[in-house]
Chains A and B, each alone.
Chain A
Amino acid sequence: MKRIALLGMPNTGKSTLFNRMTGAAARVGNWPGITVELLAGKILLGSDMIEIVDLPGIYDLHGFSEDEQVVRHFLHDNVPDLALIVLNATQIERQLSLLLQLKQLNLNMVVLLNMADEAKKFGITIDTAKMTEALGIPIFLLSAKYGNGYHEAMQAITRALRYTTPGMAENLRDQLKPDEQMESEMARVLQHSVQVPARLPDNLTSQLDHVMLHPWLGLPIFFGIMYLLFQGIFFFGQPLQGAVNELFGWLRDAAVEPLLSGLPAALQGLLLDGVYNGIATVTAFVPLIVLFFLFMAIVEDTGYLSRAAFLMDALMAKMGLDGRSFVMLLMGFGCNVPALMGTRVMRSRSLRLLTMLVIPFSLCSARLQVFVFITAALFSPKAAPLVLFSLYLFSFASAILTALLFKRRLPNNEPFVLELPPYRFPTMRQMVLRGWHEVYHFIHRAAKFIVAGVVLVWLLTHLPPSAAPASADTWAGIIGAWLHPLFEPIGITPELTIALIFGFVAKEIVIGSLAVIYGLGGDALSHALAQQLDWVQAYSFMLFTLIYTPCLSTIATLRSESKRTSFMWFSIAWSLVLAWAVSFLFYQGARMLGY
C-alpha cells in the first residue's frame, strides 16, 4: 500500500486536512524507528487504498526537540511515497525555509499552501504557477477548513502518486545546505511569486488582543472565561445528565429486568446490579464530558491558549516551568494523557520531566465525574459549586507545591519562544466532528475498562458465595479491612477504599464501583452515601481521589514519554504520599475543629 506523510510547521492545519481526507476513520499506530504513536488513516484514492500519516509539526529538519527527532526518524525508516507539505500561506515568506530543506531530501512532494482564505483577507497574493516553476514542485492553494481548493489538491495528489519517490538521504542532517544559501534561494522564489502588503490591516485579532492581553485586565478576563466555561458546562450538562439517568432507570424497569428474569439469581445480580447499574451510572456523565471537551476544543481552536501562556509565563517561571507548562496543565483538565504527550515540544529534558510531574494533578474530566456525584450527594445545591471550585484550587495548589519542591532537582534554562496564532473560530463541522470523537473515545474506554472494572468489583463484593454480598466476609471486605489502618486516619471507609483501588485503573470506574458495592444506582446511591458519610469524610475522600495517581493510561504515558520506569514509580509514589498527607491534614484538622 502506498503511503502519504503530512509534513509542515506546527499549526499550519495538518490535522484539519488530515480529518478532511480521512473523515473520522483514523487510528493511532506504531512505526518502526520511533517510539511515539502517530495518527494514520486509510482512504481510497482513484482505485488504490492509500495510507495517510499525520506527522508532528516541525520548524526545521535540524531541530532538537522530540517532535523533530520523531519526524527525522520516521522519514528515514518509513520513506513515504509522497510527502504532502502543508504550509501556512499567510506566513509563506518564512515557512518556505522548511520547504527548501525538505526539497533537498529528494522526496516525491506536493505542496499545499493552506489557509488561503486568511491570506486573501490579509491581502497576500501568491502566484502558484510561478512558484511551481521556480521550485519544480507542484504547489496549490488550499483552505482545509472550508474546503476551497481541496478537489484540485486531491487530483494533484493522485497524479503525483503515480511516480515513485526518487530516494532518501542517508544522513538527513548533514546534507542540508548552509543557511546563507537557503536565504538567497528563498528570496529568489518569493521575489516573483508572492506579494505581501507592507503593513497588515488592523484586524480583529489585534483588537481582541488589546483587551484579552491587557496589562491589568488580562488575567481577570482569563479567570472570568474559565469560570463562565464551567458554569456553561453545568448549565447545559446537568439537565442532560438527569435525562440520561431517567432513561436508564426506565429502560431497566421496562426492558432489561423482564428480559433477564429467566436467568439464575446470581447471574441476574451480576448483570443488573453489576454491569447495568455500573454502566448506567457512568454513562449519565457522557453529556457533561462531551460538553466539557467541546468547550475545551473551542478554546484550544481559537488560539486563546497561547494567550494564556503569555499571561501566565512570568508566574510559571517562578516555579521552574513556563507558559507552555501552564497550557498543558489546562489541557490536563480534559484528560492528562494528551497533556503529557503535548510536552514533546519542550527540548529541555528537565523542564519536560517537571511539567510531566505536575500534569497528573490536573483535575481531569474523569475525576470531575466523581466530584460532581459526591458533591451533589453530600452538599447543598448552594454549597456544591463552591466545593467543586475548591477542588480546582487544590488541584492547582498540588501542582504548584510539586513544582516548587522539585524545581531545584530539575533545573532548566529552556528558552520560551512561542508563536501567537490569530484568533480563529471553529466551524460547526469541526465542532460536530470533535464532539463525535469524544463520544467515540468514551465508549471505547467504557468498553475496555469500565465493564471489566464493574464486573470485577461485583465479583469481589459477592465472593466467596457463602458471604453476604458486600459484607466484611467478602474478598472486597477482606481487602478493605486489611487496608483499613492506612485509610482510617483519613476518614475513608472500607467501601470507599475498594472504590479507590479501582480508581487506580480509571477514575470513571469509581462511581460505577460504588454503585456495585452498594447495589444501588443513581439517586438511591446518593442517598446511601449521604447516610453513611459526613461531609468531612466525603471531602477527604475527594481530596485523596484528586491527588493520587489519575489512572493506568496516565501511568503508561508517563512511562512511555519519560522513557524511564523510575520516573513513573516516582510520580506514583509522590502522588500517593501527597494525597495521604493532604487528606490526613484536612481530616484530622477538621475533626480537631469539631466538625
Chain B
Amino acid sequence: MPAVALSTLAPGEVAVIVAIHTEEPLHQRLLAMGFRTGKQIELIRRARFSGPLQVRIGTTDILLRRNEAAKISVRRP
C-alpha cells in the first residue's frame, strides 16, 4: 500500500505513521505529543467547514488542522 496523507483518512480509519514532513518547531511538538514513525494513528472525526481533525495515538487524542495533517504521511494496513 502506498503512503497517503493523514488528512485523507476517513473517520474510523486506522493507519501507521510513516513520515512527518513538518518544519522543526512543529516536528518537536508532534514528537512530544506521540507522533512517531511506526505508531498507529486513528482518525476519529473531522470538524465541519474544513475545520480541524481529531486523531488518536495510543491514549492521547489530538486536534490538528488539515494543513498540518497533510504533512504527515501514513500507510493503511
What residues make up the interface of A, taking CB atoms closer than 8 Å to B?
9, 59-60, 62-64, 90-91, 93-94, 97-98, 122, 124, 179, 183, 196, 200, 209, 213, 215-216, 218-219, 306, 309-311, 313-315, 317, 323, 347, 415-422
Contacts and interface: CB of A to CB of B under 8 A. Distances in A.
A196 B33 CA distance: 17
Contact of A200 (B26, B47, B59): B59
B39 to A, nearest CB: 9
A595 B65 CA distance: 48
A264 to B, nearest CB: 65
Contacts of A122: 59
A101 B47 CA distance: 35
A75 to B, nearest CB: 17
B8 interface: no
B58 A91 contact: yes
Closest 8 CB pairs of A and B: A314-B51, A94-B34, A59-B32, A420-B61, A314-B49, A418-B63, A64-B25, A60-B32
A313 B47 CA distance: 9
A93 B26 contact: no
Contact of A419 (B36, B47, B49, B62): B62
A130 B39 CA distance: 24
B73 to A, nearest CB: 16
B4 to A, nearest CB: 20
A179 B32 CA distance: 11
Q: How large is the interface on B (under 10, 10 to 19, 20 to 34, 35 or more residues)?
A: 20 to 34
B31 interface: yes
Contact of B58 (A93, A209, A417): A93
Contacts of A98: 32
B58 A313 contact: no
A90 B52 contact: no
Given A60-B31, A417-B30, A314 B47 contact: yes
Contacts of B50: 314
9 contacts: A213-B47, A219-B48, A306-B63, A313-B47, A415-B65, A416-B68, A417-B30, A418-B62, A420-B62
Given A200-B59, A313-B52, A323-B52, A415 B26 contact: yes
A9 B32 contact: yes
Nearest to B67: A415
Interface in B19-41: 22, 25-26, 28-34, 36
Contact of A415 (B22, B32, B45, B58): B22
Contact of B48 (A196, A306, A314): A314
Contacts of A196: 58-59
Contact of B31 (A90, A179, A315): A179
A406 to B, nearest CB: 21
Contacts of A64: 25, 28
B10 interface: no
B64 interface: yes
A538 to B, nearest CB: 38
Nearest to A94: B34
Given A97-B31, A417-B30, A311 B58 contact: no
Contacts of A63: 25, 28-29
Given A313-B65, A419-B61, A215 B48 contact: yes
A97 B32 contact: yes
B63 A183 contact: no
B32 A416 contact: no
B54 to A, nearest CB: 6
A310 B47 contact: yes
A310 B52 CA distance: 6
Contacts of A421: 61
Contacts of B65: 313, 317, 415-417
Contacts of B45: 209, 213, 215
A362 B15 CA distance: 41
A416 B64 contact: yes
A324 to B, nearest CB: 10
A366 B25 CA distance: 39
B51 to A, nearest CB: 3
Contacts of A416: 52, 63-65, 68
Contacts of A311: 47, 51
A209 B48 CA distance: 15
A183 B22 CA distance: 19
Contacts of B52: 310, 313-314, 323, 416
Nearest to B11: A215
B68 to A, nearest CB: 5
Contacts of A218: 47-48
Contacts of B49: 314-315
Nearest to A312: B51
A415 B68 contact: yes
A417 B59 contact: no
Nearest to A420: B61
Nearest to B40: A198
Contacts of A209: 44-45
Contact of A420 (B26, B29, B54): B54
Nearest to A179: B31
A93 B62 CA distance: 15
A313 B22 CA distance: 20
A213 B49 CA distance: 13
A490 B49 CA distance: 40
Contacts of A422: 61
B23 to A, nearest CB: 9
Contacts of A306: 63
A347 B29 CA distance: 11
Contact of B64 (A179, A200, A417): A417
A236 B33 CA distance: 41
B60 A91 contact: yes
B36 A183 contact: yes
A97 B33 CA distance: 10
